[in-house]
Structure 1
Amino acid sequence: MTVQVGDTLPNIELRVMGAEGPEAVQTADLFAGRKVILFAVPGAFTPGCSMTHLPGYVTLADKIKAKGIDAIICTSVNDAFVMDAWGKAQNAEEIIMLADGLGHWAEAVGLTQDLAGPQLGVRSQRYAMLINDGQLELLNIDPKGIDLSSAETLLAAIS
């Protein structure tokens, strides 16, 4: 079942790249006492994600943070090495590149999709969330395209 606005989001252990390699992080720690935008993509280095979705957040990060957002997080069902390399390739220094390597986060929030047809396996749907101290305030799911979960849409929603 997909999470709903007003829900407290689950605490899941995921990975970010640290100085010594992948490091465990708890989603509850990332969200506690903070206002966060978390957006999810079906895959790092994929065309729509690399040409439009992540670059939009990179470009608008300062404007988004100026509206009171403490952190911008990008997640995908990819490992920490891939997420780190993708973030570096996209100059995403202001974005936390959060690896959901086993899809546990996507499953816990009810936002998986089966991409077995093109042999990508179970991945995350494309969406964006506004999270305030661990509670879901906004959830925009994109069934096709990037319009609802784009940086521009989220910036307008928090303005």
Structure 2
Amino acid sequence: MQASTSTTLPTPESLQGKPVPNVTFKARPDDEWQDLGTDALFKGKTVVVFSLPGAFTPTCSSTHLPRYNELAPVLRENGVDDILCISVNDAFVMNQWKAGQDASNITVIPDGNGDFTEGMGMLVDKRDLGFGQRSWRYAMLVKDGVIDKIFIEPEREGDPFEVSDADTMLRYINPEAKIPEAVVVFSRPGCPHCARAKTALSENGIVFTDVSEDQKITSNVLRAVTGSLTWPQAFVGGRLIGGADDVQDYLDKQGR
């Protein structure tokens, strides 16, 4: 996504140690309008915030949001109370994007008027793309409403994505944190064993990608990939674990 900034971005040093902007967000949790103030989101909490140019845009959808969702359990194990994704989009767009991304570990915050983003000094001009005013890409760790650390993408043409990623944030919080292996479950709608395997993973705080039969994963595809015709089939870090009983055995061996 090519775009240029119209203003000079702030430096990390100019923001660290300062409070986040005091604004009110117009959100729709549970499809009901609600005013969310800065205090409600940050006061007395340790919060990771990542902000991006727009919902449904390529890098935001393919990498930025999914990786924070994937690493959310580890971030919480290391003292983070909540993970917020802020974008200059309205509440309807943000809610639909979250649902489509299956990002249950992320709290999406619609900064539709750009008040928070402008207060951060991150509002940039993307009118050449027809986007109007949007947020520059950044991530920050906020403790009790005060910016502890902020990672701002370099100010240059395009949409740089080098320092605001979830792995960089996790390494800052705890360089020794263990990053979980990727987990994928091939499942079939209405399959009780599939539901049992996915429930077991979820209850143990394991984020996984559900690849279901309604995504054109037929029994023939399942057999070609896993060597089995039975559903579900789970993979961890590229290794085939197997069905629901195998998933439970795996969790037991992990001490979960």
Instruction: Tell me which amino acid in the other structure corresponds to 2:116.
Output: W
Displacement of 1:9: 1.5
Between structure 1 and structure 2, the one with the greater Rg is: 2
Return the alpha-carbon distance in structure 2 between the equivalents of residues 20 and 48 of structure 1.
27
Displacement of 1:142: 1.1
- The answer as to 2:109 corresponding to 1:98 is yes
Greater length-normalized contact order (CA 8 Å, ≥ 6 residues apart): 1
Which runs of no fewer than 5 residues in structure 2 stay unpaired?
A: 1-8, 175-256
Displacement of 1:19: 2.3
Partner SS for 1:19: helix
Larger relative helix fraction: 2
Larger relative strand fraction: 1
Task: Quote the residue 2:232 is aligned against.
Answer: none
Partner SS for 2:97: helix
Partner SS for 2:15: coil
Partner SS for 1:85: helix
Cα 1:92–1:109 shift into 2, 3 Å: same
Task: Quote the residue 1:72 is aligned against.
Answer: 83
Aligned pair partner of 1:22 in 33, 40, 43: 33
Q: Segments of 4+ in structure 1 off by > 6 A?
A: none
- The answer as to 2:180 corresponding to 1:157 is no
Q: How many residues align?
A: 159
Return the alpha-carbon distance in structure 2 between the equivalents of residues 62 and 32 of structure 1.
21
Q: Deviations over 1:96-154 (max 9, x none)?
A: 10000010110011111100111100000100010000000011111342221000110
The normalised TM-score by structure 2 is 0.60
The normalised TM-score by structure 1 is 0.95
Task: Quote the residue 1:112 is aligned against.
Answer: 123
Task: Quote the residue 2:147 is aligned against.
Answer: 136
Return the alpha-carbon distance in structure 1 between the equivalents of residues 143 and 135 of structure 2.
21
Q: Alignment RMSD, CA only? A: 1.3
Task: Quote the residue 1:123 is aligned against.
Answer: 134
Which runs of no fewer than 5 residues in structure 1 stay unpaired?
A: none
Q: Deviations over 1:54-107 (max 9, x none)?
A: 001011110111110000000100000000011111111111100000101100
Partner SS for 1:92: coil
Return the alpha-carbon distance in structure 2 between the equivalents of residues 123 and 58 of structure 1.
22
Displacement of 1:20: 4.0
Aligned pair partner of 2:94 in 83, 99, 119: 83
Aligned pair partner of 1:43 in 40, 54, 67: 54
